[in-house]
């Protein structure tokens, strides 16, 4: 691992656990063992380093989600696996994911509240990509584009709500509860009744 990647990983770990504004550059340097000159060789500012951690987490998280969902056939079963993956993450059962401290993108978008800020925009792009992934799987078994769009909105809202509920309230069963609602929504689309 080169020094740039090492800095990104150390910074991500600190920012994710403690928050960007709570962690100064000197802390990142101390934890990484990298000289200040080296850090500024790779990153012009702290915001540049933060942006790099967002890109790192985006790639890592998306690869993890896709890996989990690809274990099962595309469509409904893969969507169910998305919520099982979240449940494993909340409850620290998946060794691929670091300990759960909420969603890095939600956390950062709160710290960088201006929707036009580049870091906020990066976080929004991550969420849009996951919405597209959900839409892709819905389109495997729903032919109406309008219905796919409506359900993708609902499912991603439930996914995000589960993450917030698990982090803020400590409800480690939030993903499983959210899936029950998703299942009910999908049952209604197919004209079936799904017991809550």
pLDDT digits (tens, 9 = 90+) for 70-120: 999 999 999 999 999 999 999 999 999 989 999 999 999 999 999 999 999
104's CB contacts (< 8 A; 6+ apart) are 12, 15, 16, 53, 54, 57, 61
* pLDDT above 70 (res 166): yes
Collapsed DSSP state (helix, strand, coil) of residue 24: coil
Take residue 34 and report the two structure tokens written for it. Answer: 């990298």
Q: What is the DSSP letter of 94?
A: -
* pLDDT above 80 (res 165): yes
Average model confidence (pLDDT) for the chain?
Answer: 94
Residue 188's pLDDT band, with cuts at 50, 70 and 90, is: confident
* pLDDT value at residue 141: 92
Residue 192's pLDDT band, with cuts at 50, 70 and 90, is: very low
DSSP states of 164-191: HIIIII--TTHHHHHHHHHHHHHHHHTT
pTM of the model: 0.92
Give the distance, in angstroms, between the CA of residue 162 and the centroid of all CA atoms in the same chain: 12
Domains, the chain, ordered by start: 50-189 (1.10.357.10)
Q: What angle do CA 133, 137, 138 make, to 5 degrees?
A: 115
* pLDDT value at residue 85: 98
């Amino acid at each position: 691992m080169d020094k740039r990647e090492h800095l990104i990983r150390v910074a991500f770990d600190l920012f994710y656990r403690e928050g960007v504004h709570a962690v100064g550059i000197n802390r990142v340097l101390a934890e990484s063992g990298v000289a200040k000159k080296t850090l500024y060789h790779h990153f012009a500012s702290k915001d540049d380093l933060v942006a790099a951690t967002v890109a790192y987490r985006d790639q890592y998280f998306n690869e993890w989600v896709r890996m989990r969902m690809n274990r099962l056939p595309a469509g409904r079963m893969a969507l169910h696996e998305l919520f099982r993956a979240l449940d494993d993450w909340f409850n620290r059962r998946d060794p691929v994911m670091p300990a759960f401290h909420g969603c890095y993108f939600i956390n950062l978008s709160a710290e960088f509240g201006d929707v036009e800020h580049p870091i906020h925009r990066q976080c929004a792009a991550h969420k849009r990509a996951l919405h597209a992934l959900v839409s892709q799987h819905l389109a495997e078994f729903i032919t109406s584009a309008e219905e796919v769009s409506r359900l993708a909105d609902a499912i991603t809202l439930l996914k995000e709500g589960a993450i917030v509920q698990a982090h803020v309230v400590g409800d480690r069963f939030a993903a499983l509860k959210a899936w029950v609602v998703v299942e009910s929504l999908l049952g209604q689309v197919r004209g079936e009744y799904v017991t809550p």
